[in-house]
């Protein structure tokens, strides 16, 4: 029993880590980023290349890839998202536009990865060391994902709720129309939130590549998992993303242990659909 | 990383091919076919992107490219009159979509009017194109397709040839090894078995259940998981709790790799570990990050077969990486057979199909490779990692290739 | 009078399309088949999603269920009966889904429908593996490309007829109100829920039938083949490109996009994704409201 709780939390840590970035982009920058998973995959490949070709440890790679991703995402926002935001008549229009646009970005990233690396399976071994935790042995790299997601989550929650800048972020998230009335630069705030989201996608990618086999076209799997966590947790809510991520991890593990491993994903979608019907704004969402 | 020049060149080439074929179609109204041809066109549709790309990229595509390159370096395919014609290849991406692969084969057959069509990757896609290949009269060298129904299919589509055997073949060979081990008192009577919920996993597990039971084994753990599964902590721990000495996983590479990593973490060390596709990849020991000696899977090679060794070296040299230890060599052999059949009977599709069905060929599998009832049966069914090589094995004390070495040593 | 001319014209085009396979190669028949499939899917999709502005990603859930019904039933009952069964299953599923979800709005509906497609796929997989012990079914029906094409063409014609008559009926008026403002529509006596449900059921049933009719083309059916999420995305993109609010919108979007995809995969098989992605980005920036709206605005612009 305790063993399944721990395995579930460790698995959920990965989901939470991956989803927090998306909730920043979607909840605060208001960009529904369908290419989110492909940014994760791009980071997986970058780590893989740095590690196998240049011998740079994935932990050190974090220091290169995460800032790079922040800069790239700033650029993406500036060039592609900003025109959409300024022309959008209402939130719905921006949603449809950003879905279509990032759908295009998804294919571009995927196509570039396919040309550079081909469609094959990629995997390597790093930090695949047993760590004993409350009597259960878990993989070091997966534990790292959990620890990172909790740490990053805590930092973000602190920034959002305890600093002036966090207040600005929340104000933009709550009411993008009226925020400028208080002298808030919405554009800059949204850009920063989008870039932070991208940097977190890269963090997720670096960590995930340590234990998961990835291919150039596997991005959509991550996008969808992250999207489920984001919606479950309430869009824009960091604590919600963590709670929902951990919840999904627990659901999968318990169903695998006590019901049938064949039904893990069916169970995830059932929980998701049910909760969506009961609480359409998510666990921590604004009503 | 491919270089930009070859990319640009390939774009240009595809573009010219397209333009040329369009012209050819326009021209074909007046002149049906030129007798004095200067090339042989061979087309294929393969999953270069999408979920199937990983498998295709390991086992099928490199062998197509290798074979075509080798043939063209030698001056082209030899024809009965001794002349040689270079191969012009037309390759499409089916994007892992069944509708796409069907239409691509129609395009190859009726638009590009290629001389021969090589098959796509995967059981499902080979079946999807089988009726079309038969309809247009192309020999269908179904390589990467494992099916027990091959004896039926050769009756339904008499120009289809099946090169990878069926699940029952793989499972019964493995069962024989298990029985020998149990009779020698080295393993207990229990088996823990997991499988991926798609065509491959289910086909094998369906064959495995009756085979294991008939041999008197008890299947203590028997679960199927969705293909998207990436975490195996719970499955490994439940399998470990079942007290089985034999762990069988009919899986695809992502699961095989993840199961391996998790088994190491959990120190899950049953004496017999049999994993699915991916365990026979040359990169497998690197992914596991330690010795994988003792791990068993489908396929395997005979290390003393010089033809095979030469093939592996050639593949490594030209493709840039070694072939896998199961399907690659079978696919490559099927291409050699096609080339030799053309050399003997020319470009007539029906004649080539007949020659494939009845002829004897010198391939990397051996000097006398032939099909039985349009199926290749000389396949290594069970392989095991021994001293860093994935070799074909037979039950301890049995004849044939190397003897299986069990129990598998613990993970480091 | 104008209407009857339009009908004669449409009938003529339909007859021409129906005789096409006699003159063209199997490949072009295959292209027409795929195109007609997507025209039907996009039109059926827009039937519900256009006026209600509910973006549905459940297309492949119904499409796949249709295909699977044929796979399961094709050797135990005659083909027309199989199609009837598929339609029945489609209706039932649409009713259940519609009744439980139509109160969700915006992106929640989008995500819900995507989740639904995955849930259906997982459940079918699990059922096949653990209850029927089969994965992968064979469909050996004596249909060639052109037979499937003719069926799809008939279904496409019916779909257009339904779409056209809904647009002209009293429901059509109510729908205009609904799309403009749901609350206002409800206050002025439009039974919003009932209309939405009706449209959802009609649209989903047509989509189910498209899947059922196309199934024999693949010979071998397994969940990963028929529940391919690309189908949902392609349908959505095609309908949006043409303009989901108009009768001809989905058609105008589906035909060029389908031909473009086909040309790209024939000409640039290795660069398909990149070019496709760039096209999307371009579409968003150049014609955000669909091709037809773009034409309208260009025409108006030239008149001024």
CATH of the domain at B153: 3.40.50.2300
Q: Report the residue from A228, A266, A277 with minimal CB separation from C100.
A: A277
Q: Which pLDDT does position C142 carry in this prediction?
A: 84
CA distances (Å), origin C284, targets A32, A88, C287, C291: 14, 12, 6, 11
Across the interface, whether the CB atoms of A216 and B53 are under 8 A apart is answered yes
Beta bridge partners of B247: B192, B273
Nearest CA to B18 out of B84, B88, B69, B115 is that of B88
Same domain, B149 and B202: no
Q: Which pLDDT does position A184 carry in this prediction?
A: 81
Q: Which domains does chain C have, with CATH numbers?
A: 2-303 (1.10.3470)
Same domain, B136 and B228: no
Q: Which pLDDT does position B19 carry in this prediction?
A: 44
d(CA B343, CA C103): 68
In the block, residue with structure tokens 């129609």: B106
User: Taking a C-beta distance cutoff of 8 angstroms, is the pair C199, C47 a contact?
Assistant: yes
Q: Is residue B270, in this structure, part of any structural domain at all?
A: yes
d(CA B395, CA C91): 56
- At B226, list the tokens: 């969705």
Check pLDDT > 70 for residue B322: yes
Tell me: the pLDDT tens digits for B367-410? 888 898 999 888 889 999 999 899 998 876 555 678 888 888 88
- Compute the nearest-CA separation of C19 from chain B (Å): 19
The strand ranges marked E within B7-149 are: 40-46, 77-78, 84-85, 87-93, 116-118, 140-142
d(CA A177, CA C142): 61
Lowest mean pLDDT segment, chosen from A213-222, C46-55, C169-178: C169-178
Structural domain containing residue B91: 4-166+305-319+326-369
Average pLDDT, chain B: 86
Q: Is residue B411, in this structure, part of any structural domain at all?
A: no
- At C243, list the tokens: 């303009």
Contacts of B49 in chain A (CB under 8 A): 110, 114, 119, 216-217
Which chain C residue lies closest to A108 (C-alpha atoms)? C274
Q: Mean pLDDT across the stretch B343-364?
A: 93
This prediction's pTM: 0.85
Same domain, B150 and B180: no
Give the residue from A111, A117, A220 with the most C CB atoms within 10 Å of its CB, the best one to mutate.
A111
C268-294: burial string, b at 16+ Cβ within 10 Å, e else: bbbbbbbbbbbbbbebbeebbebbbbb
Q: Is the ipTM of this complex over 0.95?
A: no
- C136 SS3 class: coil
- Compute the nearest-CA separation of A118 from chain B (Å): 8
Across the interface, whether the CB atoms of A4 and B234 are under 8 A apart is answered yes
Q: Is residue B24, in this structure, part of any structural domain at all?
A: yes
Question: What is the dihedral angle through the alpha carbons of B283, B284, B289, B292, rounded to the nearest 10 degrees?
Answer: -140
Q: Which pLDDT does position C1 carry in this prediction?
A: 55
Give the residue from B103, B105, B153 with the most C CB atoms within 10 Å of its CB, the best one to mutate.
B103
Structural domain containing residue A175: 2-225
In the block, residue with structure tokens 């000495």: B245
- Torsion over CA: C257, C258, C259, C265 (sign): positive
Question: What is the dihedral angle through the alpha carbons of B300, B305, B311, B315, rounded to the nearest 10 degrees?
Answer: 40
Across the interface, whether the CB atoms of B265 and A128 are under 8 A apart is answered yes
- Compute the nearest-CA separation of B387 from chain A (Å): 20
d(CA C152, CA C154): 5
Same domain, B356 and B388: no
Lowest mean pLDDT segment, chosen from A26-40, B1-15, C169-183: B1-15
Q: Which pLDDT does position A176 carry in this prediction?
A: 75
d(CA A147, CA A149): 6
- B223 SS3 class: strand
Q: Which pLDDT does position B36 carry in this prediction?
A: 65
Percentage above 90 pLDDT, chain B: 53
Query: Which one-letter DSSP state was computed for residue C140?
Result: -
Same domain, B216 and B345: no
Lowest mean pLDDT segment, chosen from B69-83, B200-214, C131-145: C131-145
d(CA B334, CA B118): 10
Which chain B residue lies closest to A139 (C-alpha atoms)? B265
Q: What DSSP letter does each residue of B358-393 carry, written as one string? A: H--EEETTEEEE--BTTB------EEEEETTEEEEE
- C77 SS3 class: coil
Contacts of C144 in chain B (CB under 8 A): 135
Query: Which one-letter DSSP state was computed for residue B301?
Result: B
Q: Report the residue from C25, C128, C265 with minimal CB separation from B111.
A: C25
Q: Mean pLDDT across the stretch C263-283?
A: 84
Q: Which pLDDT does position B87 carry in this prediction?
A: 94
Contacts of C126 in chain A (CB under 8 A): 260, 262-263, 266
Quickly count: other Cβ atoms within 10 Å of residue C302's Cβ.
7
Q: Is residue B376, in this structure, part of any structural domain at all?
A: no
User: Taking a C-beta distance cutoff of 8 angstroms, is the pair B85, B35 a contact?
Assistant: no
Across the interface, whether the CB atoms of B199 and C135 are under 8 A apart is answered yes
Q: Omega into C286 within 30° of 0, i.e. cis? A: no
Same domain, B203 and B174: yes
Residues of chain A short of pLDDT 50, as ranges, are 287
Same domain, B171 and B161: no
Surface-to-core class of residue B8, CB atoms within 10 Å of its CB (0-12 exposed, 13-18 middle, 19+ buried): exposed
Q: How many domains does chain B have?
A: 2
CA distances (Å), origin A80, targets A33, A100, A197, C76: 12, 12, 16, 54
Q: Is residue A156, in this structure, part of any structural domain at all?
A: yes
Q: Is residue B25, in this structure, part of any structural domain at all?
A: yes
User: Taking a C-beta distance cutoff of 8 angstroms, is the pair C215, C139 a contact?
Assistant: yes
Nearest CA to A262 out of B257, C121, C112 is that of C121
Nearest CA to C63 out of C256, C249, C284, C211 is that of C211
Same domain, B241 and B314: no
- C298 SS3 class: helix
The strand ranges marked E within B13-53 are: 40-46
A120: left (phi over 0), alpha (psi -120 to 50) or beta: beta
Q: Which pLDDT does position C118 carry in this prediction?
A: 82
Q: Which pLDDT does position C180 carry in this prediction?
A: 63
The strand ranges marked E within B172-271 are: 190-196, 218-225, 246-250
Same domain, B162 and B176: no
Tell me: the pLDDT tens digits for C28-44? 898 999 999 999 999 99
Check pLDDT > 60 for residue C302: no
Q: Mean pLDDT across the stretch B73-89?
A: 92
- Compute the nearest-CA separation of C219 from chain A (Å): 26
Q: Mean pLDDT across the stretch B340-349?
A: 93
- Compute the nearest-CA separation of A84 from chain B (Å): 29
Same domain, B153 and B281: no
Q: Which pLDDT does position C112 carry in this prediction?
A: 81
Lowest mean pLDDT segment, chosen from B110-124, C60-74, C247-261: C247-261
Q: How many domains does chain A have?
A: 1
Same domain, B17 and B123: yes
Q: Report the residue from C126, C262, C269 with minimal CB separation from B14.
A: C269
Could you write out the three-class secondary structure of chain A? CHHHHHHHHHHHHHHHHHHHHHHHHHHHCCCCCCCHHHHHHHHHHHHHHHHHHHCCCHHHHHHHHHHHHHHHHHHHHHHHHHHHHHHCCCHHHHHHHHHHHHHHHHHHHHHHHHHHHCCCCECCCCCCCEEEECCEEEEHHHHHHHHHHHHHHHHHHHHHHHCHHHHHHHHHHHCCCCHHHHCCCHHHHHHHHHHHHHHHHHHHHHHHHHHCCECCCCHHHHHHHHHHHHHHHCCCCHHHHHHHHHHHHHHHHHHHHHHCHHHHHHHHHHHHHHHHHHCCCCCCCCC
Q: Is residue B374, in this structure, part of any structural domain at all?
A: no
Q: Mean pLDDT across the stretch C124-130?
A: 83
Dihedral pair phi/psi, residue A137, rounded to 5°: -95, 125
Tell me: the pLDDT tens digits for A220-278? 888 888 988 988 888 888 889 999 999 999 999 999 888 888 888 888 888 888 887 78
- C179 SS3 class: helix
- At B249, list the tokens: 């996983």
CA distances (Å), origin B324, targets B56, B118, B119, B380: 11, 19, 18, 13
Q: Which pLDDT does position A121 carry in this prediction?
A: 87
User: Taking a C-beta distance cutoff of 8 angstroms, is the pair B104, B115 a contact?
Assistant: no
Same domain, B154 and B223: no
Lowest mean pLDDT segment, chosen from A92-106, C15-29, C202-216: A92-106
């Amino acid at each position: 029993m305790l063993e399944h709780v721990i395995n579930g939390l460790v698995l959920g840590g990965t989901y939470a880590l991956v989803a927090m970035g998306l909730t920043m982009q979607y909840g605060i920058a208001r960009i529904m980023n369908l290419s989110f998973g492909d940014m994760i995959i791009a980071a997986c490949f970058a780590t893989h290349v740095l590690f196998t070709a240049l011998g740079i440890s994935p932990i050190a790679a974090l220091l290169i890839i995460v800032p790079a991703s922040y800069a790239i995402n700033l650029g993406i926002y500036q060039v592609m998202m900003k025109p959409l935001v300024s022309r959008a008549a209402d939130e719905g229009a921006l949603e449809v536009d950003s879905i279509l646009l990032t759908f295009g970005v998804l294919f571009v990233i995927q196509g570039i990865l396919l040309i550079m690396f081909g469609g094959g399976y990629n995997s390597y071994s790093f930090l695949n060391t047993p760590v004993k935790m409350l009597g259960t042995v878990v993989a070091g790299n997966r534990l790292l994902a959990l620890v990172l997601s909790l740490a990053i989550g805590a930092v973000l929650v602190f920034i959002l709720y305890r600093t002036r800048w966090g207040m600005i972020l929340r104000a933009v998230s709550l009411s993008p129309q009226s925020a400028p009335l208080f002298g808030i630069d919405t554009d800059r705030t949204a850009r920063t939130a989008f870039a932070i989201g991208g940097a977190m996608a890269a963090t997720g990618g670096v960590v995930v590549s340590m234990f998961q086999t990835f291919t150039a076209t596997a991005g959509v799997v991550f996008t969808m998992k992250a999207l489920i966590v984001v919606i479950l947790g309430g869009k824009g809510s960091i604590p919600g993303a963590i709670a929902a991520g951990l919840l999904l991890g627990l659901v999968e593990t318990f169903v695998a242990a006590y019901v049938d491993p064949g039904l893990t994903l069916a169970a995830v979608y059932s929980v998701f659909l049910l909760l969506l019907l009961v609480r359409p704004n998510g666990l921590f969402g604004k009503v | 990383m491919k270089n930009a020049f070859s990319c640009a060149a390939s774009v240009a080439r595809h573009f010219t091919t397209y333009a040329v074929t369009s012209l050819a179609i326009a021209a074909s109204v007046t002149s049906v076919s030129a007798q004095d041809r200067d090339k042989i066109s061979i087309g294929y549709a393969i999953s270069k992107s999408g979920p199937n790309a990983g498998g295709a990229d390991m086992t099928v595509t490199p062998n197509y490219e290798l074979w075509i390159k080798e043939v063209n370096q030698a001056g082209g395919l030899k024809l009965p009159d001794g002349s040689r014609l270079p191969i012009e290849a037309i390759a499409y991406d089916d994007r892992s979509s069944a509708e796409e692969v069907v239409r691509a084969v129609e395009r190859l057959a009726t638009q590009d009017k290629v001389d021969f069509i090589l098959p796509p990757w995967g059981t499902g896609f080979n079946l999807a194109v089988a009726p079309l290949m038969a309809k247009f009269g192309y020999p269908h060298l179904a390589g990467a397709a494992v099916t027990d129904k091959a004896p039926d299919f050769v009756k339904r589509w008499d120009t289809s040839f099946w090169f990878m055997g069926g699940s029952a073949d793989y499972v019964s060979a493995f069962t024989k090894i298990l029985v020998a081990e149990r009779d020698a008192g080295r393993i207990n009577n229990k088996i823990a078995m997991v499988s991926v919920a798609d065509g491959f996993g289910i086909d094998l597990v369906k064959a495995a259940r009756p085979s294991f039971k008939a041999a008197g084994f008890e299947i203590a753990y028997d679960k199927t998981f969705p293909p998207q599964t990436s975490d195996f902590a719970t499955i490994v721990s439940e399998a470990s709790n079942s007290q089985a000495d034999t762990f069988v996983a009919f899986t695809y590479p992502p699961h095989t790799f993840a199961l391996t990593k998790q088994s190491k973490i959990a120190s899950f060390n049953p004496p017999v570990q049999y994993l699915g596709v991916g365990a026979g990849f040359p990169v497998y020991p690197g992914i596991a990050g330690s010795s994988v000696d003792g791990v068993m899977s489908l396929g395997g090679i005979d290390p003393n077969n010089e033809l095979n060794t030469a093939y592996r070296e050639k593949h490594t040299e030209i493709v840039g990486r070694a072939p896998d230890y199961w399907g690659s060599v079978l696919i490559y052999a099927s291409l050699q057979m096609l080339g030799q059949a053309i050399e003997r009977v020319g470009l007539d599709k029906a004649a080539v199909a007949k020659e494939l069905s009845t002829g004897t060929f010198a391939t990397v599998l051996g000097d006398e490779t032939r099909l039985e009832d349009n199926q290749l049966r000389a396949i290594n069914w069970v392989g095991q990692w021994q001293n860093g090589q994935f070799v074909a094995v037979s039950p301890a004390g049995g004849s044939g290739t190397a003897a299986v070495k069990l129990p598998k040593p613990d993970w480091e | 009078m104008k209407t009857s001319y339009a009908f004669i014209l449409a009938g003529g085009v339909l007859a021409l399309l129906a005789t096409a396979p006699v003159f063209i190669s199997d490949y072009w028949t295959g292209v027409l088949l795929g195109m007609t499939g997507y025209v039907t899917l996009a039109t059926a999709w827009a039937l519900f999603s256009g006026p209600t502005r509910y973006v549905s990603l459940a297309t492949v859930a119904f499409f796949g269920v249709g295909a699977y019904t044929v796979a399961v039933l094709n050797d135990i009952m005659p083909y027309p009966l199989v199609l009837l069964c598929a339609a029945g299953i489609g209706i039932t599923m649409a009713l259940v889904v519609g009744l439980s979800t139509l109160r969700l709005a915006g992106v929640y509906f989008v995500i819900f429908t995507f989740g639904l497609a995955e849930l259906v796929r997982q459940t079918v997989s699990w059922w096949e593996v653990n209850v029927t012990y089969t994965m992968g079914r064979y469909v050996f029906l004596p249909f060639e490309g052109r037979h499937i094409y003719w069926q799809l063409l008939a279904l496409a014609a019916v779909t257009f007829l339904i779409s056209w008559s809904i647009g002209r009926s009293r429901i059509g008026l109510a729908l205009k109100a609904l799309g403009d403002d749901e609350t206002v529509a409800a206050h002025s006596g439009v039974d919003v829920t009932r209309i939405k449900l009706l449209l959802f059921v009609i649209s989903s049933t047509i989509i189910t039938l498209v899947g059922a009719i196309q199934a024999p083309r693949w010979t071998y059916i397994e969940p990963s083949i028929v529940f391919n999420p690309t189908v949902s995305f392609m349908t959505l993109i095609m309908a949006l490109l043409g303009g989901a609010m108009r009768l001809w919108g989905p058609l105008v979007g589906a035909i060029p996009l389908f031909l473009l995809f086909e040309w790209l995969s024939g000409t640039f098989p290795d660069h398909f994704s990149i070019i496709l992605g760039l096209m999307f980005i371009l579409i968003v920036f150049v014609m955000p409201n669909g091709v037809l709206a773009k034409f309208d605005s260009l025409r108006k612009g030239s008149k001024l």
